[in-house]
Amino acid sequence: MKKQKWGLQATITVLVCCVVAVCLFVTDIRISKTIADSIEKSQREKATNVARMVAHSDIVIDALEKGNGDIQGFTEEIRGLTNVQFIVVMDMNGIRKSHPDPAKIGKRFVGGDEYPALKGKEHVSISKGTLGISLRSFIPIFDHNGKQLGVAAVGISLNNVHKAVGQAREDIYMGTLFGVVAGLLGAILLARYIKSILFGLEPFEIAKLLQERGAILQSVREGIIAVDQESRITLINKAALRLLQKAGLAKEPLGMKMEEYLPVSKLGRVLETGQEELDEEMELNGITVVANRVPVMLQDRIVGAVSTLRDKTEVQQLAEQLTGVRSYAEALRAQSHEFMNKLHVILGMAHMGYYDQLTQYISELVQHRNNEIGAISRYMKDPVLAGFLIGKLSYTREAGAELFVSSEREVPEPLHSHTSHELITILGNLIENALDAVSSSLIKRINVHFDYGDDILTVEVRDTGAGIDKETQHTMFEKGFSTKGEDRGLGLFLVMQSLDRLGGEIEVSSKPSEGTRFVVYIPYDGKDGAR
């Protein structure tokens, strides 16, 4: 699985910060526009209200109508109270009657946006005058009879408007910055909290662990069942399902109470006591199962329990399967026993003083031993297989039979070591069967013959036993089949398993009272390209 560039904490922090920043940015744009529009609208209304107040003032109306009254003093007083940029009263010819700069009184109004008001229409505009660019509100002035006498113009500097908008935006920016900082701190705390819950693991590490756990649980041969602290089944692998289906429990157990699904499991007792129970036998509808039960502890608290199940029959068969190690041990035991017998003979002859006969006896032993070992070592280049055959010679003599090993040509050491072990399993079981077959015969003879060529190893095992009938020949390779009593029937089954692994074949020919002949054909690659 490809490793992420960023960890969980960095990812959450960046993501939360980006979300907060984008949200605040969009909010800032929308609020800034709203505030700017609101400020501009409020300034328009302010200018219009001041202009209406001036336009409806009796002082201004009388001054324009009768030519008396102090318009300049009145407008300057209002301007000071309302904090606007200018208040200008003009007659119908656009001649100023008041202005913040007294020198401009009596001169024509500048800007060109006063004409709609001179025609009796209120309006607001933005234009440049003698005091710079400003927001202007124009209100017509009428006498008591409805005749227009002039126009009242009130201006507010756009610099003041922009300053108000900028001040509002500064407040928004401060709020945005505070939001980003708060979001960053919240993201860091959230990421740390999540990582603490996940035991400091990154998401890709959790996914990898789950994949590995699933693969491991489904690949093991033991059945595994896990329950939570409420004794509900949370996990069951394929091996457990197969075993339970074999016992007649076919329903899907996930989520069920263990006591309801499998009352004999005793996992509830493990949840209560916290004590593990190992290698206990359990009956499942006639099937004997070997069970292990252990509690699952987290911070000294029981959070669940796990039980492993294995068919007792399989356990027994595994214990009985013969490997190369057992063959080596048997060979050494047989050789040791045979050697001790010969030492007793030598000791007796030495005590009796039969030195000439003792010399001859030892010479014959050495010669015979050298002939056996020399013959096998000469054509069997695999030391493991050669040692096994030499041990079997002693073992069969101890059992009262004769074993003859021969070969057409030299058999090289196999390219792969596992081939030796599979061969030992095959030969060991075939020779064991042959020993059993000749145990009740007058002539107890077993011949093992090797032939190697064209990357095929042929092994023939022939005995002088009572033979095998046709019916038995068809079923003798099945697991558990035996004519020798109960708890047998694994030898030829193991032979077939080893042949399957090697890609080999076996032929059987036998007649009652004429012995049995097994011929094995195995693909065989020798080391260093030997043929």
Residue 431, token pair as written in the block? 């020779």
Please give the pLDDT value at position 371: 53
Q: What is the CA angle 88-93-98, rounded to 5?
A: 20
According to the model, what pLDDT value does residue 347 have? 74
Q: Which CATH number fits domain 1-219: 3.40.50.300, 3.30.450.20, 3.50.50.60, 3.40.640.10?
A: 3.30.450.20
- Residue 525's pLDDT is what? 86
Read off φ and ψ for residue 179, nearest 5 degrees.
Answer: -65, -40
Task: Give the pLDDT score at 323.
Answer: 44
Tell me whether the CATH fold assigned to 1-219 matches the one assigned to 321-529: no
HSE (side-chain half, CA atoms, 13 Å) at 465: 25
pLDDT, residue 487, reads 45
Assess contact for 47 and 135: CB atoms under 8 A: yes
Listed by start position, the domains of the chain span 1-219, 221-311, 321-529
Query: DSSP string spanning 109-153?
Result: PSSS--HHHHTT--EEEEEEETTEEEEEEEEEEE-TTS-EEEEEE
The reported pLDDT for the residue numbered 459 is 92
- The predicted pLDDT at position 208 comes to 78
Residue 282: which residues within 8 A CB-CB, separation 6 or more?
A: 264, 265, 266, 288, 289, 290, 291, 309
Domain 221-311, what fold?
Beta-Lactamase (3.30.450)
Per the CB < 8 A criterion, the answer to whether 426 and 419 are in contact is no
For the chain, 531 residues long, the average pLDDT of each consecutive 10-residue run is 59 76 75 74 85 87 80 86 87 86 86 84 81 82 87 82 70 75 79 74 73 73 84 84 78 81 82 84 78 85 86 57 51 60 70 72 57 69 81 79 86 83 86 87 89 90 86 74 55 83 89 85 77 46
301 by Cβ neighbours in 10 Å (0-12 / 13-18 / 19+) ranks as exposed
Element (H, E) at 320: helix 312-320
- Say which residues have a Cβ less than 8 Å from residue 127's Cβ, sequence separation at least 6: 111, 112, 113, 133, 134, 136
Which CATH number is 321-529 given? 3.30.565.10
